[in-house]
Structure formats: C-alpha cells, structure tokens
Amino acid sequence: MSPIDASALPPLITDTRELTEACQRLASERFVTVDTEFMRETTYYPKLCLIQLAGESEVLLVDSLAEGLDLAPFFALMANAAVTKVFHAARQDLEIIWQKGGLVPSPLVDTQISAMVCGYGEQVSYESLASGLANAKIDKSSRFTDWSRRPLSSAQLVYAAADVTHLRVVYEKLEARIAKNKRETWVSGEMAALSNPKNYETLPDEAWLRIKARLRKPAEKLALKELAAWREREAQSRDVPRGRVLKDDALVEIAMAQPKSIAELGNLRAVPNGFERSRAGADILEAIARAATLDPAILPPPDPDKPNVSGALVQLLKVLLQAVADRNQVASRLIGSADDVEQLAARPDAPHAILEGWRGEIYGSIAQQLIRGEVTLGLEKGRVVTVPRPLAAE
C-alpha cells in the first residue's frame, strides 16, 4: 500500500471556533453529506467519536471527543431547513444526533432508501454505491477500528473522509434518477417516517416489548414490564449495556417466579451468584411488588388469532410482489414486507399501508384483484405477468 500524503488529509476540527466557522460555510450549501463514527460496546448510549461532513468543495472531520469542543454549531447545521442533510443507512447516525442534540436532522435523505427506490435492492451498501455510481474504491481496513483512541491515524482519517466524499456523487446521481422517474413522493414519504423522533426515543415502560418471552399470564407480563423498566433506567443511569445490568433470560425467569424474598431471588438459576444481596436485588423485589398492584387492563390486547388463510394465496401475493418490484425497479421490501402480504391476504378489505399511495398504485390494487379472482398470474417471455380472468357467469 502506498504511503498516505498527510498534506491531502482533510482538516480535523478540535475547537469550537473552527467548528462554528466550518458550519457557517456549510450553511450556504444546497446539501451536506454526513456520517458519524461511534462506539457502544461498553455503554448504553453510543459514544460519538468522530463526525464527517462534506459540502460541494470541502470535506471536514470533527473530533467530537476533543476537550472543550461545543457541538452546538453542528446541531444548528443539522436543524437548518435550507440545507439537505445526506446520510447513508442513517438510522444509527440519527439516533446519536437525537440523543446528543435533541433533534432529528431536517430535511434529510438516506441514500440507502433512495437506492432501494432506484432498484438497487435491499440494504445496498455504501461501498457498492460508491463503486457503481462514483467509480470509487473504499479501503475497508479501518472499518472495525477503535474510534475512541487518540490520536487518530492517517489511515483512519482517510477512511472516515471517504464516507462523505463519494456520498456527494452517489446522492446527486440517485436524485437525478428519482427525478427522471418522477418518484420524489416515494422518497419523501420514507424520509418523513425516518424523521419521526419516536424512532429514537427509548421509553423504559415499553422496554419489555423488545424481550422475547412466551408469557401467558397477565401477572407475569406485568412483572416483566416493571423489571424491564427498572433495568432500562438502571442501564441509562450507569451508561452501561442492558445485559451488563441483567440479561433477558434472568428477567423472564424472575417474572415467572415472582420471588417475594432475597432468598427466593437468590435461588433462581439465571440470577448471578450474590446478585440478590446487592442494591439491585432490593430494586427487583420492589419492581415485583409494584407489578402486583397494576391493573392487567394496561397491557396491550393479545394478538388476534390469525384467520385461516390459504398458504397458496400468500405465496401468489409474494410472487406478485416480486414481479411488481422487478417491473418498477424498486426493492420489494420498500413496497411491503412478508408480514404485510400475510395481513393483506387475511384481511383484504381492511386498511393497509400497502394499499395506500404509490404502493397501492403499483401493487395494492392488482393484489386485491388477484385475491378476488379477477386476474391470475402467468408467464410471458420468462416474466411473471397478470392475466385478466373472466368471472364465471352466475
């Protein structure tokens, strides 16, 4: 590998004055590409280590761990309605900006979603887009580096800068294709959903819903709800991963056993030795006691039994989904998921997102015709097509 020319490295911003001036320059741009590098293996909240920004004529790196650096100018740029913020696979970046700055960048574009609209498949990588659209090769050698260590090496800085440098070309080419195909509304709807702050809020009282557990008794579910909320708050206050406080299987076992004493808690197999004698042990018993006072009516209603739906119909609808996606050069997952298709098959007359807007136009309406028997599927030159089916005379 040839040595890196240090003079060609983008500037690394380490003080607030430099950041303010840089963000003022970028505020005059039509769009700014953005990426972040972070670590979260040992913490609850992601540790923001580096911010990459690029305008039309400059690329900047921000050392977010620099002592005394105020990120307020960066957050002001993220909130600037006159500048489009461009990310790739944006969800984790948006989570960090929401957690650190209390805002979701607006307006924003996620090029992974834009690429899905343009037929690049599901979850296409930045490397693939950079290669195909910007004719650029990304050096992945620093991909799994420790971004919290200082000083950052030249190789790390080059890798980080590449994440926003080529994204400019990727964004502009995808936007041109979207405009040519008149699919702006397809993208805007997805961006609106991505911009919802609820995507990035962590509510302790809802933490139990993420735990996989086959609990049938309302009392057990209420206990798990209180235990998961306690663990979430504990992990947040200590800034450690949830599993560092107590693992999921331990919470489920405690919820099922509902111990009334320290001794009963200590006898549970999933509880670490000595854990019951810690402050956390007392907190767990308090959570169990609180759960016993709750009204089961606060629990979400159980999932209704699935209607008896023909598996063949579901498979036909999935074949149709893929055919429509191929014909329109859009990722099938962007139109709808397997669960969406199953729900449509079960309740074709109920409201479904897959029947609304552009999804309804290209897939939903023909899917309903297929369900009603008004069309069938056939092959034409190796491609799946819909064929009108005459209804039998009454």
**Last residue in a domain, options 148, 175, 199:** 199
Contacts of 391 by beta carbon, 8 Å cutoff, 6+ apart? 373, 374
Strand partners, 32: 85
Asked if residue 393 belongs to a domain, the reply is no
Q: Which domain, by its residues, includes 219?
A: 204-298
pLDDT 10s digits, 54-87: 999 999 999 999 999 999 999 999 999 999 999 9
Segment among 302-306, 358-362, 370-374 with least mean pLDDT: 302-306
CATH number, domain of 263, equals 1.10.150.80
Tens of pLDDT, residue by residue over 38-48, are 999 999 999 99
**149-156 long-range Cβ contacts below 8 angstroms, 24+ apart:** 150/63, 150/65, 152/12, 152/50, 152/63, 154/4, 154/6, 154/9, 155/4
Q: What is the pLDDT of residue 307?
A: 64
Instruction: Give the domain-ending residue among 180, 199, 218.
Output: 199
Say which CATH number the domain at 160 has.
3.30.420.10
Counted domains in the chain: 3
Asked if pLDDT for residue 342 goes beyond 60, the answer is yes
Regarding whether 142 and 17 lie in a shared domain, the answer is yes
